[in-house]
Amino acid sequence: MHKNPLFIILSIFTIAFFSVSYFLYNSLPTLSAFQPLSINDVVAVANVSAVQTDVPLVMTETRLPESEEVRRMAQAVKITDVSDPVLESGSAIVMDSESGKIIFSKDANRKSPIASITKLMTAMVFLENNPGWETEYKISQDDKVEGGKEYIYNGDIVKVKDLFYLSLVGSANSATLALVRSTGMSEKDFVVAMNKKADELNLKDTFFADPIGLSNYNVSSAYEVAKIAKAALADESIGSAVLSKEYGFETAGGRKIVVYSTDALLDSFPLGDVSLLGGKTGYTEAAGYCFVGKFSKDNGKEIISVVLGGSDIGYRFSKTQELIEWTYGNFDWVY
């Protein structure tokens, strides 16, 4: 009996199909040889556009942020029912340096003159235009500014570094103007740069009319002074200067000069486990007695305190110390 030709064809096709399948199965790597795509591989593939798929691909791996780099900031939380400090005059603020959280405030957004706290902004702008620390500058009559103690005189030749320390340690006005002029900029252009820097720091209530702090139009708020101090004290050069209790140097003519800090809290800290990381004083009749300082506890938590418009020279320091002790004594930092 003859078999159906269609049956014969189907049989041959079936045998051929299974033979080829068996060959391919033994020729290809096992499934264990294939590795699953990682999240970074997926990101790399996702970065390839449809237009690029008809050309040889060079895959660039795009790594996601490491998990340990993503962290929450600790927040200052009050742990006692102790009442807030009382402010007898002016305005004040205590701010967590890392998070920017306001821990204490009294009229912290009120604009007022800030006197020589201005010199922190002057120092930041100077550092962006520093002609070199060892550059010598000859003092002229044009550098003389009334007000405050004089350390340098017409004809003195001093280094730029000495002017920088005179400005921040002794808050010397003539030295500050000489520092500004050492950059080659006019006082007017320098003040423009100061206000531009204020804009960069997003300071809406801050304005400068001079680089020294004598003008009543040099204004800010306690809140924005804290932001200025945060930016300024992050610079090692500024931080080193404002932590100096005294600074000595010699003019090119051999005259020896020693300047002492206007910051009385340098003699009070460290206080227990709290350290002073730097500060700046200010005073004019319109501004009152002012002080901004940055502090750190041994747990690493840093705060910035500002007191503006103090009624007397001791108030700015005693009130600052009270605010610091109150903050570290009644707040804890938790995640």
Q: Where does 75-334 sit in CATH, by number?
A: 3.40.710.10
> Per-residue pLDDT for the chain (335 aa), expressed as one digit of tens each?
455 555 555 555 555 555 545 544 454 444 344 344 343 333 333 333 333 333 333 333 333 343 343 346 888 888 898 999 999 999 999 999 999 999 999 999 999 999 999 999 999 999 999 999 999 999 999 999 988 889 999 999 999 999 999 999 999 999 999 999 999 999 999 999 999 999 999 999 999 999 999 999 999 999 999 999 999 999 999 999 999 999 999 999 999 999 999 999 999 999 999 999 999 999 999 999 999 999 999 888 999 999 999 999 999 999 999 999 999 999 998 88
Determine the pLDDT at residue 37: 39
Which of 91, 97, 112, 119 is labelled catalytic?
119
Give 185's Cβ-side CA count (13 Å radius). 21
Which of 167, 171, 182, 220 is labelled catalytic?
171
Both structure tokens of 135: 């550059």
Type of residue found at 249? F
Q: How far is residue 325 CA from its own chain's centroid?
A: 24
Question: Which residues define the annotated binding site?
Answer: 280
The answer to whether the beta carbons of residues 109 and 223 sit under 8 Å apart is: yes
Q: How far apart are CA 177 and CA 82, in angstroms?
A: 46
Which of 116, 215, 220, 221 is labelled catalytic?
116
Tell me, yes or no, if 21 is annotated catalytic.
Answer: no
Question: Which residues define the annotated binding site for substrate?
Answer: 280
Would you tell me how many other CB atoms lie within 10 Å of the CB of residue 82? Answer: 10
* Beta pairing class for 112-113 and 219-220: antiparallel
∠ Cα 308 120 281 (to 5°): 40
pTM above 0.85, yes or no: no
* Beta pairing class for 136-138 and 112-113: unpaired
Q: How far apart are CA 122 and CA 211, in angstroms?
A: 6
Tell me, yes or no, if 116 is annotated catalytic.
Answer: yes
Tell me, yes or no, if 245 is annotated catalytic.
Answer: no
Q: How far apart are CA 294 and CA 128, in angstroms?
A: 23
Return the DSSP state at 97.
T
In 135-167, which positions are buried (b, 16+ CB within 10 angstroms) versus exposed (e)?
A: eebebeeebebeebeebbeeebebbbbbbbbbb
| Domain coordinates in residue numbering, the chain | 5-54, 75-334
